[in-house]
Amino acid sequence: MSSTRVRRHIDAPRARVYRALVDPRAVAAWLVPPGMTSEVHAFEAREGGAFRISLTYDASTGVSKTTARSDTFHGRFVKLVPDEQIVEAVELETGDPALQGEMTVAISLTDADGGTDLVAVHDRLPPGLSPADNELGWQQSLAKLAALVEAGARGRGQPILRTEALTRVVEGRAIVDGISIDVAEGDVLAIVGPSGSGKSSFLRLLNRLDEPTSGTVLLDGRDYRTIPPRELRRRVGMVLQTAYLFPGTVAENVRFGPARRGEALREADVASLLEQVGLPGLGSRSIEGLSGGEAQRVALARALANSPAVLLADEPTSALDEASKRDVEALLADVVRARRLTCLVVTHDQAQAARMARRVMVMEAGRLVRIGPLEEVLRAQGMG
């Protein structure tokens, strides 16, 4: 589900939105292309409380199924609603004259490859926004919605990233040796260990720059070998020790990832990304003459332009001078926090690990020695 992208939104009268809830085939008729499965998520965004109902409709078979799940939304537990009560529940809300909040139905479309797109249907615009005067804000509200759909679909407790006995053998030596870990969404995990312990090799397996000899990685519960590599690498972004910027301008570098999929970032998006990495207005600058710290910031913006769900950072500051080291580290930590990114950062610097991460994983000779909350691991390592 984390491949969810808001592709288009449709303004529709509330009646039609509710109709979508009641009868998924009605949705299918105007939204679902043949061969795709749709899942309808309904939100009632009043007072920050939300419920979710899933209606599934398989356009190829014409079979519709309505499910309601026990779920939390907006931090609240929402009671399981039996299938047959859903219509009633919706009607109940419709009949409520006090209901003033905007209603949104988000529908995710899944194709045979498991790729997902999100279509959001609104009965009205969020207050103070119109598509004409604030398209960016509008897009962001949809993006937020997409995140909620994802969070809901993932359910409680399922890790966004899981490695299962992940192993890579090179020339008879296991450089990554049977590592199984879970990383929850929004978690920041530092990977530490002596040089040659397999930290970077482990990281390189996570976006499949290298092939595991055995074991696998589950991304959102899905074996990553079933995800096309380019799609996987878009969702699992990476920042390396060296920026490796491409010749051209800063903006061209930022646009690189989306352009590979035929998506052109708008000026405003580029500007916003550059602002987020502390380089406002630098888009037209050539990459020649950027300082190491600036180059690394551009590399971060370039990775973020792909809207990854997971960010891998391989010694992101170790090639920088002391001053920019702390700057870039603080920036990375800020961005990860602000975007609620799931992040795995390899570092040889214990202090950096402590500053950036909530959880730490210690590797030695390709093996996982210890993983857990920061303080616990540092204490166990005799470093606390």
Partner 1 sequence: MLKAWVSDPLLLGLAQAGLAAAAAFAVVLLARRRKIHVEAETAIAVVRGLVQICVVGSALVLMMRGPRWLGVPVLAGMMIAAAHTSARRAKRIPGALRASLLGIALGAGPTIAVMALAGAIGTEITSLVPVGSMLIANAMNANAIALDRFRAEVQAHVGPIEAALALGAAPEETVEAYVQSSYAASLIPAIDNLRSLGIVWIPGLMAGMVLSGSPPLYAAIYQFTVLAMILASSGLTCLISTTVIRRRAFSDAEQLVLRPGGAASPPT
Using CB under 8 A, list all residues that contact partner 1. 168, 170-171, 175, 195-201, 204, 207-211, 225, 229-231, 233-234, 237-238, 240, 242-244, 246, 256-257, 260-261, 299, 302-303, 306, 346
Cβ-based nearer residue to partner 1, 116 or 207? 207
| Minimum distance, C-beta of residue 100 to partner 1, in the bound complex (Å) | 42
Cβ-based nearer residue to partner 1, 9 or 168? 168
Cβ-based nearer residue to partner 1, 247 or 382? 247
| Minimum distance, C-beta of residue 236 to partner 1, in the bound complex (Å) | 9
Within 10 angstroms of residue 19's Cβ, the number of other Cβ atoms is 17
161, 196, 225, 307, 315 from 211: Cα distances, Å: 17, 18, 10, 24, 21
Cβ-based nearer residue to partner 1, 142 or 254? 254
| Minimum distance, C-beta of residue 158 to partner 1, in the bound complex (Å) | 25
| Minimum distance, C-beta of residue 176 to partner 1, in the bound complex (Å) | 9
Q: For 47, list phi and psi in degrees, rounded to 5.
A: 55, 25
Residue from 42, 95, 112 nearest 71 by CA: 42
Residue from 169, 214, 175 nearest 365 by CA: 175
Tell me the angle at which helices 267-276 and 250-260 cross, rounded to the nearest 10 degrees.
110
E strands, 322-366, where?
Answer: 342-346, 359-364
DSSP annotation string for 201-216:
HHHHHHTTSS--SEEE
Q: Which residue has the tokens 């907006």?
A: 74
Cβ-based nearer residue to partner 1, 102 or 294? 294
| Minimum distance, C-beta of residue 269 to partner 1, in the bound complex (Å) | 16
Strand 342-346 relative to strand 359-364, pairing: unpaired
- 124, amino acid identity: R
Q: Could you give the CA distance from residue 335 to residue 305 in angstroms, rounded to a whole number?
A: 12
Residue from 256, 257, 279, 255 nearest 265 by CA: 255
Q: Which residue has the tokens 């800063």?
A: 250
Cβ-based nearer residue to partner 1, 23 or 269? 269
Measured in residues, the chain has a length of 384
| Minimum distance, C-beta of residue 275 to partner 1, in the bound complex (Å) | 20
| Minimum distance, C-beta of residue 175 to partner 1, in the bound complex (Å) | 6
Cβ-based nearer residue to partner 1, 8 or 260? 260
